[in-house]
Amino acid sequence: MGLVNKIIKAVEVLTEDESVEKGNDFEKYVVDLFDKRYFSIVQWSTDITRKHDRFVESDAGPDLTFRYMPTGEIFDVECKFRSGLYEEKLHWSNPEQLKRYQNFARENRSPFFVVIGLGGNSSYPERMFCIPLEEAKYPALYPSVFEKFERKPEKNFFWKNGILK
């Protein structure tokens, strides 16, 4: 029984490492879609909680905070990559994460967007969505919600009138 538990734990660690790697790859992909001439990165979360079992307050916020340099506007981006839908829904967060993101957005009073890559490779997803947090009201979204915010995965991001596209 001890050996079986060690094997299960090893598989869990490998799976978690693969998931972390995919998340990091997708974040890098998203960042590369923000033209350096127009966007600066104010903050990029390190997700230290992945390396330790203790809660880190700064990990409760978004992956990225950007400044649109022509106007100085600041906004937040959470990046999520999913290989596919589960039970015909896009499961992008858990209830606790969603609540933390909502609290962060409310407290900081800055626009908050969830950028989701779906299918393909985390370094180049088949589909991409840029959803305002206020539209991502649940941890799992039906296509009728997220498909309204679909964008071409290879297209650079554009900021206009407080909206990220």
- HSE-CB at 4 with a 13 A cutoff on CA atoms is 1
DSSP 70: T
* Tokens 């050996």, located at residue: 3
Residues 6+ apart with CB under 8 A from 134: none
Count of domains forming the chain: 1
Q: What is the pTM of this model?
A: 0.85
pLDDT tens-digit profile, the chain (165 residues): 565 444 444 434 444 567 788 989 999 999 999 999 999 999 998 765 555 566 666 666 899 999 999 999 999 999 999 999 999 999 999 999 999 999 999 999 999 999 999 999 999 999 999 999 999 999 999 999 999 999 999 999 999 999 999
Domain that holds residue 160: 2-164
Question: Which CATH number fits the domain that encloses residue 65?
Answer: 3.40.1350.10
Beta bridge partners of 65: 43, 76
SS3 for 10? helix
